A and B are shown apart, each in its own frame.
Chain A
Amino acid sequence: MSPTPKPTGSAEIGARTEPGRVAPALDSTLLDIDTALVVEILEGFIREEVHKVGFDRAVVGLSGGVDSSAVTALACRALGADHVVPVIMPFRTSSPSSEADARLVCDVLGAVPEIVDISPQVDDYFSAFPDADRTRRGNKMARERMSILYDRSMEHRALVVGTSNKTELLLGYGTLYGDMASALNPIGDLYKTQVFALARRLDLPERVISKPPSADLWEGQSDEDELGLRYATVDVLLYHLVDERRGRDELVALGFAPEMVDDVVRRVRTSQYKRRPPLIAKLSKRTIDRDFRYPRDWGR
């Protein structure tokens, strides 16, 4: 196995295109979705799956980004804005504009947010580990937010609705048991560019849709810089790789740079553990999830 080149800085490892024309592989209209149909399916999904467990409310961690804003909007449509609790959880280094955007989304939707500043608990923890790098700090913040959402869900008798999209789930660009944790995920089968289209359909404020995507874990963070990939490109690559089951050589022949293909394939493979429950050592005749297989909606 040859070593895979690491993405560097903000330079995109992109697709090769001839000047003046878009390679067919890069044609992002491939990912155009019927947004009306998607909204209909996802509204029903949230409503039915929340009601099935005997709840009628949802809790959503709202950052002011496009994913959580779209999920909050879907939940409001499905359950009514008075049955949705958006929780805004800034850290002291979070961009103030993120909180402003989150509040704007709540205003537009008619939902009343809860604000929980996570700075004291995060700072208190890291006072014992002052050398922790920003990845550890970012993961910790994501998991603090998760624990707050699950606490709010108990108080409100509401399900935690997740906000991870298909791109970040496939690339492993998320914190296990942090932002990846939820009871239901309405947008986990939509690539990031499709979430943008969904957000437009849901009439979310333009500035929520047009700002550069960011996990907002530290100042100036940008998804695309950190990944070394542009969503518009990597989504199309993932579509060919995952949905269309194309192999490496086919992807290169379609016009994607070999280094980018290898990088994305490696990310998908090495992050597989994040998309699965923990491994259970097989001992008995019937092991959970191995040969004890029941639907989650068992009896519902």
Chain B
Amino acid sequence: MVLERRRPRLTDTEPLRQPDPASTGAVVVAMAQIAPRLGDVATNLARHLGIIAEAQANGAGLVVFPELSLTGYFLKDLVPDVALRLQGDEIRALCEACTSVDACVGCVLESDDSRFYNAALYISGGGVRHIHRKVYLPTYGLFDEQRYLATGDRFRAFDMPLGMRAGGRPWRGGTVICEDIWHPSSLSLLARQRVDAFLCPSASPRRGVLRGEALGTAHSYDVMTRTYAQLFTAFFVYCNRVGYEDGINFWGGSRVVGPDGVPLADAAGADETLIYQRIERPALRRARIETPLLRDERHDVTDAETDRIRRDRRAD
């Protein structure tokens, strides 16, 4: 276990106030910015269970892990070997750990007809409440996902029961995985389903060290997370992994952005860490009063224009 010895211990980065949940729906979100061990599900699962327990003990209601957090990212032909079945022991163990805390974990999910998806599972109340299968699989540059993985075909918002535990309403969640957010329609479709908080597990590699582009990918994600949070007046929870795989470095920078587009805490660096952020409904309400973009959104125009574009395309 050489890796564990030289990495900083996972610690909380800010003192937690006790949420006052019934009135505000307040909940503490923990982002587990970790470096999964590539292709070693058993080790990663044990770490997940430990982190979930630690975050829960520190008052978190939801723990968000990075993309493919149970497997690592550049899997190539390991994909079928590390794939999980919904009925399998690993997911059962996670469900058992999530009876009074929620978690969003990343894995390769195998379907009954042997398709393999890059998936994020939302686990709550002892069961899997929602599955997002990554829709946009990058297959260019250093990415090769479509060679190994099947594409998802939907963006569905879902209820996150975490608010209900304190007697309030559920939060409305929407999961997007990494490359999904390079396509604004992903977020737009979720926002139309009344999302309060986007969850974005990510495995974004660092590239670009020239002056001027030194922040490269990190800059793009900074802009996107702030922009989406502001335009869709929703919280944006971004959890990116760290560490190296085959010489490729993942830059971390996990963060939560508020519904006014302002980051709630400084983005985490590139070390393993567990970050806590309290989110609450009054911030959503304030943002939507100040900037009622969701109220004003013209879905009828979008629908009509989409129909027209489709008609025109058929006529080609």
Instruction: Please state if A33 and B210 are interface contacts (CB–CB under 8 Å).
Output: yes
Instruction: Please state if A34 and B77 are interface contacts (CB–CB under 8 Å).
Output: no
Closest 7 CB pairs of A and B: A34-B214, A32-B211, A51-B2, A293-B76, A48-B244, A297-B38, A293-B77
* Least distance between B68 CB and chain A CB atoms (Å): 12
> Does residue A218 face the partner (Cβ distance < 8 Å to B)?
no
Note all chain B residues with C-beta closer than 8 A to A44.
Answer: 244, 249, 270
Note all chain B residues with C-beta closer than 8 A to A29.
Answer: 211
> Does residue A77 face the partner (Cβ distance < 8 Å to B)?
no
Instruction: Please state if B77 and A292 are interface contacts (CB–CB under 8 Å).
Output: yes
Q: Give me the interface of B with A, judged by CB distance under 8 Å.
A: 2-3, 6, 37-40, 72, 74-78, 206, 209-212, 214, 243-247, 249, 270
* Least distance between B216 CB and chain A CB atoms (Å): 10
Instruction: Please state if A295 and B39 are interface contacts (CB–CB under 8 Å).
Output: yes
User: A41 CA to B78 CA in the complex, in Å?
Assistant: 26
* Least distance between A218 CB and chain B CB atoms (Å): 33
Instruction: Please state if B77 and A299 are interface contacts (CB–CB under 8 Å).
Output: no
Instruction: Please state if B206 and A41 are interface contacts (CB–CB under 8 Å).
Output: yes
Instruction: Please state if B6 and A34 are interface contacts (CB–CB under 8 Å).
Output: no
> Which chain A residue lies CB-closest to B43?
A299
Q: Which residue in B2, B39, B209, B246 is a CB contact (below 8 Å) of A37?
A: B209
* Least distance between B312 CB and chain A CB atoms (Å): 34
Give the number of A-B contacts (CB < 8 Å). 72
A293-B77, A294-B78 as given contacts; A48 in contact with B210, CB under 8 Å: no
Note all chain B residues with C-beta closer than 8 A to A299.
Answer: 37-40
A45-B249, A54-B2, A296-B246 as given contacts; A33 in contact with B211, CB under 8 Å: yes
User: A51 CA to B5 CA in the complex, in Å?
Assistant: 10
Instruction: Please state if B249 and A295 are interface contacts (CB–CB under 8 Å).
Output: no
Instruction: Please state if A31 and B210 are interface contacts (CB–CB under 8 Å).
Output: yes
> Does residue A300 face the partner (Cβ distance < 8 Å to B)?
yes
User: A278 CA to B153 CA in the complex, in Å?
Assistant: 40
Can you list 28 residue pairs at the A/B interface with Cβ under 8 Å? A29-B211, A33-B210, A33-B211, A34-B209, A34-B211, A38-B209, A40-B270, A44-B249, A45-B244, A45-B247, A45-B249, A48-B3, A49-B244, A51-B2, A51-B6, A52-B3, A56-B2, A184-B247, A293-B76, A293-B77, A294-B76, A294-B77, A295-B39, A295-B74, A295-B76, A297-B38, A298-B39, A300-B40
Please report which residues of chain A, range 31-85, place their CB below 8 angstroms from some CB of chain B when the two chains form the complex: 31-34, 37-38, 40-41, 44-45, 47-49, 51-52, 54, 56
Note all chain A residues with C-beta closer than 8 A to B2.
Answer: 51-52, 54, 56
Q: Which residue in A48, A184, A293 is a CB contact (below 8 Å) of B243?
A: A48
> Which chain B residue lies CB-closest to A33?
B209
* Least distance between A208 CB and chain B CB atoms (Å): 22
> Does residue A253 face the partner (Cβ distance < 8 Å to B)?
no
* Least distance between B241 CB and chain A CB atoms (Å): 13
> Does residue A30 face the partner (Cβ distance < 8 Å to B)?
yes
User: A298 CA to B249 CA in the complex, in Å?
Assistant: 16
Among A30, A52, A298, find the residue whose CB has the most chain B CB atoms closer than 10 A.
Answer: A298
Instruction: Please state if B244 and A295 are interface contacts (CB–CB under 8 Å).
Output: no
Instruction: Please state if A51 and B211 are interface contacts (CB–CB under 8 Å).
Output: no
User: A184 CA to B243 CA in the complex, in Å?
Assistant: 16
> Which chain B residue lies CB-closest to A49?
B244
* Least distance between B104 CB and chain A CB atoms (Å): 25
Instruction: Please state if B210 and A34 are interface contacts (CB–CB under 8 Å).
Output: yes
Instruction: Please state if B37 and A300 are interface contacts (CB–CB under 8 Å).
Output: yes
Among B72, B76, B245, find the residue whose CB has the most chain A CB atoms closer than 10 A.
Answer: B245
